[in-house]
Amino acid sequence: MKIIDEKNYYKMSELVEQVDLSNHTIAFYHKKGLLPNTVNTSKNMKYYPEITITVLNLIIYFKDNLNFSIDYIKELFDYYKINFDDRAELILQSIMMLSSEIKNPISKKDLDQELLKEAISLDLLDEKEIYFKTEIEVLRTYEELRKYDISTKLINEYVTTSKKLALLERELSTKVLEDTGYLPEVLVLDILNSFKPYIFNRHTIIEFKKD
């Protein structure tokens, strides 16, 4: 590790040890524009800022756990304007990337305006100009629910419960941070991508089995 302008930087060999990737793979990611800018202190020596480790861990997670291609990860990084200077903001952006697939964009004006307005009022969706694959799926599910005698109150309770669950997720993460002084980005994504869905669906199955 080298300190440059009071910040920690790593040589390529140190990155390889930290994230278990080859130097060729890391160099490829850097060439694709997926990594923060390097600092050159001599003709043949590049130093990578400390946040590069977090970025590489996120790329590995997206590839291995979500089967995202490098090109799609690059598309996500560009769309969300990844912040390479703030680790906390970077982790937040990674949660956004995990939860919303930016595929099959549809303009707001091309959607059922009444349906969309209701979904936004129920806090199922954000108000925006362009909606993507996951958001359209939520909207279509809500459209199906409207066909049944389901009260707005019940959907409100569902959203409220989701907000409580989100608060618990934040408390889990905060507790880890308080105890260790460090919040593993992979742990945050695992809670959202596998821990939460499995626990939630497990108890949903248990509830349905009661009938």
pLDDT of residue 43: 66
Contacts of 60 (CB under 8 A, 6+ apart): 19, 21
Query: Within this chain, do residues 208 and 144 fall inside the same structural domain, yes or no?
Result: no
Classify 39 as helix, strand or coil. strand
Low-confidence ranges of the chain (pLDDT < 50): none
Query: Within this chain, do residues 67 and 138 fall inside the same structural domain, yes or no?
Result: no
For residue range 159-208, list pLDDT tens digits in order: 999 999 999 999 999 999 899 888 889 999 999 899 999 999 999 999 99
Query: Within this chain, do residues 4 and 95 fall inside the same structural domain, yes or no?
Result: yes
Distance CA 78, CA 72 (A): 10
pLDDT of residue 103: 86
Classify 211 as helix, strand or coil. coil
Query: Within this chain, do residues 2 and 74 fall inside the same structural domain, yes or no?
Result: yes
Domain total of the chain: 3
Half-sphere exposure of 202 (CA within 13 A, CB side): 6
Query: Within this chain, do residues 64 and 141 fall inside the same structural domain, yes or no?
Result: no
Range of the domain at 71: 1-99
Query: Within this chain, do residues 79 and 31 fall inside the same structural domain, yes or no?
Result: yes
